[in-house]
């Protein structure tokens, strides 16, 4: 692939994901990381992308349905019920990893009375607890991914790879009997690090995500302990998940 074609491919790929590591871009265009680094430098010189630690990000990402504020308007009452039920699973003073899902944000809103230690890569959750007296807040490093309100990249992965937590509260794009998938491939490595760091793993899914497959495979069902969903969840899938040995909590409306 010629340089001009590589750079166009990189630009188009960043329009889809906004941020990517050099290794990820090298895989996309079938070139070495050193070649991709030069391509990114050229794109930066043309004002199209910005180089970051270990990768590149789009300068002017499009506004779309994946923004945090837009996603948080979907299934709002269901997310609130799930968040409250999920928070009830947390014991006082536990160390809790929280990812950047909108449903996880609703769980965070009920946690302050538990006096937890919160470790997160979510900017909305960090802002929620910025002035909280009963919460010890730790925010991962990383590159800001504005559309999702999240910190991503090698620094974020490294942060979660070096900690130990009692529980991780997470979300994703969908769950079936084959496993859990997510809409954003750049979050997969961070979520893997979160899961490895936690003794218990809780996933929050509003009912629209049950039976749904998203783009990128995250993990099989053996990698999680508990699922919290809402009363709209299909009963046959709930039963099947329980038969797989998972704790499934259906939050009351």
pLDDT in tens, 121-147: 999 999 999 888 899 999 999 988 877
DSSP secondary structure string for all residues of 133-195: SS-EEEE--SEEETTTTEEESHHHHHHHHT--EEEEEE--SEEETTEEEES-GGGHHHHHHHH
DSSP 113: G
Rg (CA), the chain: 19
Q: Which two tokens stand for residue 3?
A: 């340089």
Contacts of 82 (CB under 8 A, 6+ apart): 103, 106, 107, 204, 205, 206, 228, 229, 230, 251
Handedness of CA 214, 148, 86, 90 (dihedral sign): positive
* Residue range(s) of every CATH 1.10.10.10 domain in the chain: 3-58
Q: Which of 8-22, 78-92, 122-136 has the lowest mean pLDDT?
A: 8-22
Please give the helix or strand (H or E) that residue 103 lies within, else none: helix 102-108
Q: Is the pLDDT of residue 195 over 70?
A: yes
- Rounded to the nearest integer, the mean pLDDT of the chain is 88
CATH class of this structure's domain 68-251: alpha beta
β-strand pairing of 143-145 with 150-152:
antiparallel
Angle at 187 between CA 233 and CA 161, to 5 degrees: 110
Confidence at residue 72, expressed as pLDDT on a 0 to 100 scale: 46
Give yes or no for a contact between 242 and 218, defined as CB atoms under 8 angstroms apart.
no
pLDDT in tens, 177-191: 999 998 777 789 999
How is residue 215 annotated by DSSP? S
CB 229 within 8 A of CB 217: no
Mean pLDDT to the nearest integer, 73-101: 90
What is residue 70's predicted lDDT score, i.e. its pLDDT? 46
Tell me whether strands 143-145 and 136-139 are parallel, antiparallel or unpaired.
unpaired
The pLDDT, as a whole number, for residue 149 is 85
Q: Does position 240 have pLDDT exceeding 60, yes or no?
A: yes
Q: Does the pLDDT at position 208 exceed 80?
A: yes
Of 28, 83, 12, 65, which Cα lies nearest the Cα of 253? Answer: 83
Least confident of 157-161, 178-182, 185-189, 246-250: 185-189
pLDDT at 237 over 90: yes
pTM of the predicted structure, to 2 decimals:
0.74
Residue ranges, CATH 3.40.50.10470, the chain: 68-251
The domain made up of 3-58 is a member of CATH 1.10.10.10 = yes
- Please report the DSSP string for 75-95 in residue order: THHHHHHHHHHHHTTPPTT-E
Could you tell me if 195 and 201 are in contact, meaning their C-beta atoms sit under 8 angstroms apart? yes
Asked if residue 236 has pLDDT above 60, the reply is: yes
Look up tokens 């070649």; give the residue. Answer: 35
């Amino acid at each position: 692939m010629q340089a001009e074609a590589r750079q166009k491919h990189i630009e188009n790929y960043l329009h889809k994901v906004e941020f990517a590591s050099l290794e990820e871009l090298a895989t996309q265009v079938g070139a070495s990381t050193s070649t991709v680094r030069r391509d990114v430098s050229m794109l930066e010189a043309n004002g199209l992308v910005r180089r970051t630690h270990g990768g590149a990000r789009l300068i002017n990402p499009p506004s779309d349905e994946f923004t945090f504020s837009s996603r948080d308007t979907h299934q709002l009452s269901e997310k609130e019920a799930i968040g409250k039920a999920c928070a009830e699973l947390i014991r006082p003073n536990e160390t809790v990893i929280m990812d950047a899902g909108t449903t996880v944000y609703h769980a965070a809103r009920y946690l302050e009375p538990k006096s937890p230690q919160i470790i997160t890569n979510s900017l909305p959750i960090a802002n929620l607890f910025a002035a909280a007296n009963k919460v010890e807040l730790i925010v991962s490093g990383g590159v800001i991914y504005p559309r999702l309100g999240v910190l991503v990249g090698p620094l974020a992965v490294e942060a979660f790879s070096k900690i130990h937590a009692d529980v991780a509260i997470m979300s994703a794009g969908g769950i079936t009997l084959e496993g859990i998938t997510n809409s954003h491939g750049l979050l997969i490595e961070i979520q893997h690090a979160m899961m490895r760091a936690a003794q218990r793993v809780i996933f929050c899914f509003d009912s629209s995500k049950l039976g749904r497959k998203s783009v990128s495979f995250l993990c099989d069902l053996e990698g999680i302990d508990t699922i919290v969903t809402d009363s709209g969840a299909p009963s046959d899938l709930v039963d099947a998940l329980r038969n797989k040995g998972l704790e499934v909590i259906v939050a009351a409306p």
